[in-house]
Amino acid sequence: MPTDRSPRPTLEAVAAHAGVSRATVSRVVNGGPGVRAEVRERVRASVQALGYAPNFAARSLVTRRTGAVAVVIAEPESRVFSDPFFSRQLRGIGRELACHDTQLLLMLQERAEDHERISRYLAGGHVDGVLMFSLHGQGPPPGAQALAAGLPTVFGGRPGWPGAAEDPGLLYVDADNRGGARLATEHLLGLGRRRPAALTGPLDQTSALDRLHGFQDALTAAGLAPSRAPTAGGSFTAEGGERAMAQLLEHEPGLDAVFAGSDLMAVGALRALRAAGRRVPEDVAVVGFDDLESASWADPPLTTVRQDVEGMGRIMARLLLRQIGDVPADGGRGVTARTEEPASPVITEARLVVRASA
Amino acid sequence: MPTDRSPRPTLEAVAAHAGVSRATVSRVVNGGPGVRAEVRERVRASVQALGYAPNFAARSLVTRRTGAVAVVIAEPESRVFSDPFFSRQLRGIGRELACHDTQLLLMLQERAEDHERISRYLAGGHVDGVLMFSLHGQGPPPGAQALAAGLPTVFGGRPGWPGAAEDPGLLYVDADNRGGARLATEHLLGLGRRRPAALTGPLDQTSALDRLHGFQDALTAAGLAPSRAPTAGGSFTAEGGERAMAQLLEHEPGLDAVFAGSDLMAVGALRALRAAGRRVPEDVAVVGFDDLESASWADPPLTTVRQDVEGMGRIMARLLLRQIGDVPADGGRGVTARTEEPASPVITEARLVVRASA
DNA sequence: TGGGGGGTTGAGAGCGCTCTCACATTATCG
DNA sequence: CGATAATGTGAGAGCGCTCTCAACCCCCCA
């Protein structure tokens, strides 16, 4: 037979064992008030003796809470797990949720049919809220499904679909991509470089776009024409960076600095530069973005923009938990944290980390 | 108010709308037989019209199925997300589960108190089964909690606690660590190297231990005394590899080949070798293990042992779904896949990938 | 000694769903 | 054409829990 799922004891059983009613056991289990200390102890002992654990589905059915939160990751070709950036953010989320006794459901939306499956899940009340990462710009507004299901939702990164910017109720957490990119570019210019180029990620992602804008901001401020600065785009990967860099070198052999949209791209750029016989940083200075672990391994170690990725994850989780309402710690005996101030998007700081590449 | 959770329509509502009973709607929703085509269509229309989605908790309460599986990752300092190996495995799991309409609950057990929290969750019937990764050897048999809760469980990697080897019912999926390590070492020996050394991971992890054994197997087969081969251990990280390599060089300056227990360690070893002025592969040949993406970026690109990590994840998921019983596709209308052959551990093949480092 | 009042406890009604079983309807056959 | 089977549908009993509300007990004060 397919696994002999031994029947777990119910509230009823504990009540009988302790000689009290179901209601009393429920009170004890949930830490509710109004139970004599003596009875409370007796019930506790019975719970222990029978190895009772409350049935999640039954509880959830009446409380309308699941104590779980979905992390939806919408991306055509799931780089999620290979992308250390994401991984760290996910870790931050996981840790924060664990602190509040909340489970994390991971939902990967790689293809169109996943969209439907996930919508169904969200509508089915599996979770109390949603953390939404939608990395691509095309397709149906990803995350609309969660909002439509009436679930509290927090976005990772600034949502980029048409109209998103106008919606003041949209909650998201993002790094200061624009400011960070500006910082990095100013560093290049401060080094005396006058022919900087940019390697951008997919411009349908707001992070890539914002970083490009930051790059241009710095040029403008320094009196250079952003439109004249060479730019090439690709995916946020080492391969993408390598290809874009090669392309850039072909069209603009005179460039003396490169702002890469991500560390992975920067690593690729280093490869392409080496292949072209350029020295880094002597001939071409390179800065990256993200400060991944691999940034410090690179040869030469990358100057890059650091974001507190794990912290962003934690903030996302916290924001969501606040939206959900009361923090479901210990079965609800905690204080109900009403949303005093209206929640609003959070932009976290980005800092320059100077290493050898620039 | 904390989020106006708009009341979703219930079965009852759909039944009223379609002019049938709840039972009939249930049958239609679950694809059950015995409903006239005309009625079926009418119900479908009502479902559509009201935007009905079955309540998960209620269904789960009666079916005793949740359609979710927990991935428990027990590790003191969660490298989970930074470790690309894991990430790929998780992706494989996620994809396979998605194919079977099963959700993935991620549970990180970083500290002792998490253990208790997770046990509670598992016992509460949140999930139908457990995929268990317990990377450290110490502490209470991690995973015992899942087994104790009577949940179908599959382990990632060979469980290492005392007695695990004797338990024939223990299900796990592992790479052929021993065989792969032997392959890699034989490659080094085949290159004419006669003073190979090993960099091992934490030997309380079976994967590290198995790889060391594989290394020794190759030496023995080649007529070399394994006990004479220099060995240093550390964590499965670049830092660990760097430190261990430095230590090895100090004690055994004459070594001409290194088998590293992981690619990350190998990358660290490359750094240490460079710092010591050794050329790779001329002075010292290096092989790694895992074939991470970074293995091909390394300088020189690493010769390493490739495992089908994503495939391992898929197999784990498949094994678990089979244990759980019938594959819960489309609400159970699928064939019940009884365990015809008794399930048994799966060891996947490991292949050598030759690049420049050896 | 009797009547509040506060603190404890239990009875019972659901939460939304599935599933069994009895009933209604129509098809099938002697 | 009535008996029997096959098919379609509905009534109702839970699944295990929470939560309201009424009942209860004991103590205090008049």
> Does the pLDDT at position B281 exceed 80?
yes
Q: Are B103 and B97 in contact (CB under 8 A)?
A: yes
Q: Which residues of B touch A339 (CB under 8 A)?
A: 2
**Of A300 and B5, more confident:** A300
How high is the mean pLDDT of chain B? 86
Scan residues 179-238 of chain B and list those with Cβ within 7 Å of strand D: none
Rg (CA), chain B: 26
The answer to whether the beta carbon of residue B12 comes closer than 7 angstroms to any atom of strand C is yes
Picking from A95, A98, A126, the nearest residue to B56 by CB comes out as A126
> Does the pLDDT at position B286 exceed 90?
yes
In chain A, what are the domains? 11-63 (1.10.260.40), 68-174+310-347 (3.40.50.2300), 177-307 (3.40.50.2300)
> What positions of strand C are covered by protein, i.e. any atom < 7 Å from a CB?
7-12, 14-20
Residue with tokens 């230590």: B247
Distance (Å, whole) CA B175 – CA B306: 10
What is the per-residue pLDDT for A312?
Answer: 95
The answer to whether the beta carbon of residue B48 comes closer than 7 angstroms to any atom of strand C is no
Q: How many CB atoms lie within 10 A of CB B175?
A: 27
Report CB contact under 8 Å: B238, A323: no
**Backbone dihedral angles phi then psi of residue B164, each to the nearest 5 degrees:** -60, -40
Chain A residue with CA closest to B70: the answer is A105
Distance (Å, whole) CA B104 – CA B112: 23
**Of B342 and B332, more confident:** B342
Interface check A54 vs B, CB under 8 A: yes
The answer to whether the beta carbon of residue A323 comes closer than 7 angstroms to any atom of strand D is no
Find the mean pLDDT for residues B43-72.
93
**Of A60 and B33, more confident:** A60
Distance (Å, whole) CA B311 – CA B259: 25
Distance (Å, whole) CA A229 – CA A20: 78
What is the per-residue pLDDT for B333?
Answer: 30
Please state, in angstroms and as integers, the Cα–Cα distance from residue A84 to each residue in A305, B71, B81, following that order. Answer: 15, 19, 7
What is the per-residue pLDDT for A335?
Answer: 37
Q: Which residues of A touch B82 (CB under 8 A)?
A: 84, 87-88, 91, 293
Distance (Å, whole) CA B79 – CA B73: 10
Q: Are B185 and B218 in contact (CB under 8 A)?
A: yes
What is the per-residue pLDDT for B140?
Answer: 56
Interface check A30 vs B, CB under 8 A: no
The answer to whether the beta carbon of residue B332 comes closer than 7 angstroms to any atom of strand C is yes
What is the per-residue pLDDT for B55?
Answer: 94
Find the mean pLDDT for residues B182-206.
95
Find the nucleotide nearest B55 (Cα to C1′).
C16
What is the per-residue pLDDT for B81?
Answer: 65
Protein-to-nucleotide distance from the CA of A62 to the C1' of C7, whole angstroms: 27
Picking from A91, A120, A294, the nearest residue to B78 by CB comes out as A91
Q: How many CB atoms lie within 10 A of CB B30?
A: 14
Interface of A with B in 94-113 (CB under 8 A): 94-95, 98, 101, 103-108, 110
Interface check B8 vs A, CB under 8 A: yes
What is the per-residue pLDDT for B282?
Answer: 95
Distance to chain B for A216, nearest Cα, Å:
31
**Of A106 and B162, more confident:** A106
Interface of B with A in 288-347 (CB under 8 A): 293-294, 297, 299, 323-326, 336, 338-339
Protein residue nearest nucleotide C7, by CA to C1': A34
**Of B4 and B344, more confident:** B344
The answer to whether the beta carbon of residue B334 comes closer than 7 angstroms to any atom of strand C is no
DSSP state of B290: B
> Does the pLDDT at position B336 exceed 50?
no
Find the mean pLDDT for residues B54-75.
92
Report which of A184, A132, A135, A182 is spatially closest to residue A291, judged by C-alpha positions.
A184
Q: Is A166 left (phi over 0), alpha (psi -120 to 50) or beta?
A: alpha
Q: Which residues of A touch B56 (CB under 8 A)?
A: 121, 124-126
What is the per-residue pLDDT for A149?
Answer: 67
DSSP-assigned letters across all residues of B10-60: -HHHHHHHHTS-HHHHHHHHTT-S---HHHHHHHHHHHHHHT----HHHHH
Percent of chain B whose predicted confidence (pLDDT) is above 90: 61
Distance (Å, whole) CA B327 – CA B187: 43
Under the banding of pLDDT at 50, 70 and 90, the label for residue B128 is very high
The answer to whether the beta carbon of residue A63 comes closer than 7 angstroms to any atom of strand D is yes
**Backbone dihedral angles phi then psi of residue B133, each to the nearest 5 degrees:** -115, 115
Apex B72 CA angle, A49 and A150, nearest 5: 95
Is residue A9 exposed (0-12), middle (13-18) or buried (19+ Cβ within 10 Å)? middle
Distance (Å, whole) CA A198 – CA B96: 39
Interface check B274 vs A, CB under 8 A: no
**Of B70 and A338, more confident:** B70
Q: Are B280 and B258 in contact (CB under 8 A)?
A: no
Distance to chain A for B326, nearest Cα, Å:
8
Q: Which residues of B touch A53 (CB under 8 A)?
A: 120, 123-125
The answer to whether the beta carbon of residue B124 comes closer than 7 angstroms to any atom of strand D is no
**Strand partners of residue B162:** none
β-strands A346-348, A350-353 pairing? unpaired
The number of C-beta contacts closer than 8 angstroms across A and B is 157
Protein-to-nucleotide distance from the CA of A97 to the C1' of C15, whole angstroms: 26
Report CB contact under 8 Å: A61, B64: no
pLDDT in tens, chain A (358 residues): 333 445 789 999 999 999 999 999 999 999 888 899 999 999 999 999 999 999 999 999 999 999 999 998 887 665 666 677 888 888 899 999 999 989 999 888 888 778 888 888 888 899 999 999 876 655 555 556 667 668 899 999 988 887 787 888 889 999 999 999 999 999 999 999 999 999 999 998 899 999 999 999 999 999 999 999 999 998 888 889 999 999 999 999 999 999 999 998 999 999 999 999 999 999 999 999 998 877 887 889 999 999 999 999 999 999 999 989 754 333 333 334 444 456 788 999 999 999 999 8
3-state secondary structure A236-252: CCHHHHHHHHHHHHHHC
Protein-to-nucleotide distance from the CA of B214 to the C1' of D6, whole angstroms: 66
Maximum CA extent, chain A: 86
Q: Which two tokens stand for residue A134?
A: 């939608």
Q: Are A10 and A50 in contact (CB under 8 A)?
A: no
Distance (Å, whole) CA B174 – CA B268: 25
**Strand partners of residue A156:** A173
State whether residue A328 is helix, strand or coil: coil
DSSP state of B9: P
Report CB contact under 8 Å: A55, B61: yes
Is residue A352 exposed (0-12), middle (13-18) or buried (19+ Cβ within 10 Å)? middle
**Of B47 and A344, more confident:** B47
Interface of A with B in 186-215 (CB under 8 A): none
The answer to whether the beta carbon of residue B22 comes closer than 7 angstroms to any atom of strand C is yes
Find the mean pLDDT for residues B201-227.
94
Report CB contact under 8 Å: B238, A297: yes
> Does the pLDDT at position B118 exceed 80?
yes
Picking from B57, B88, B91, the nearest residue to A60 by CB comes out as B57
The answer to whether the beta carbon of residue B62 comes closer than 7 angstroms to any atom of strand C is yes
Lowest mean pLDDT among B65-69, B263-267, B325-329: B325-329
Chosen from A69, A90, A106, A235 to mutate, greatest number of chain B CBs within 10 A: A106
